[in-house]
Chains A and B, each alone.
Chain A
Amino acid sequence: MEYLTLIISCILVNNILLAKFLGNCPFLGTSKKMETAVGMGMAVIFVMVVAGVITWLIWHKVLVPLDLGYLRTIAFILIIASLVQFVEMFLKKSIPTLYAGLGIFLPLITTNCAVLGATVFNVDDDLSFLMATVASFAYAVGFGLALVLFAGLRERIMLARVPKPLQDTSIGLITAGVMALAFAGFSGMV
């Protein structure tokens, strides 16, 4: 039950894109086409879960015992950057089909603040190992869900006649605002 609440809270109520405002650059950048949105969503789910697990271990087994808490930001970003690089090489070598699918999105994830943000939230909320893993997964699913829904809306907007100054990013942001309003409706759930 505890886990169910956590999952619902991370996916819908505290949606990392629409309620916490993290990862907006890829949100606006990769949402023009459905395929890229799905690819980005998958890549984020994959990296965020692995990053969540590793940063949790580093934080609780290395940084806290050695009293190096102030190095958190620098340690976490290095872990994420090297992890992304490693995942990229690993996929290229052993699972080429998946690499072809995720390929171009993987390097982008290093500067996706949703990944760093989720790992920081896990540490700040002082979650247990299993809880942190589940939360990372749920945050990533929330990210993917919002991204895919938004891409669907944006494909429709392309066909509409939007006034010139509002075109592209501007109307995209306003659409995201309406989506955030819809997601705000979940806030009473948990």
Chain B
Amino acid sequence: MEELIKILEDVRDDVDFANTKDLIDGKVLTSFDIIQLISTLDDEYDISIPAAEIVPANFNSAEAIYALVQRLQG
């Protein structure tokens, strides 16, 4: 989880990823950030996130992103 927060902070260093729960719904992350985030996640965790998984619920918080990564790795 700490590693993921680091990755997230590398995408945007002005967002409190540990505590924000509405990254997408609250329009905290832009679509540009999401693209950058997804390509980083793909590289760092060696996964490929299917388009159908790219929905707000999976990206609203660091926990949700963590759960998604774990699911795809499993």
**Is chain B a partner of chain A in the same complex?**
no
Q: Which residues of A contact B (CB under 8 A)?
A: none
Q: Which residues of B contact A (CB under 8 A)?
A: none
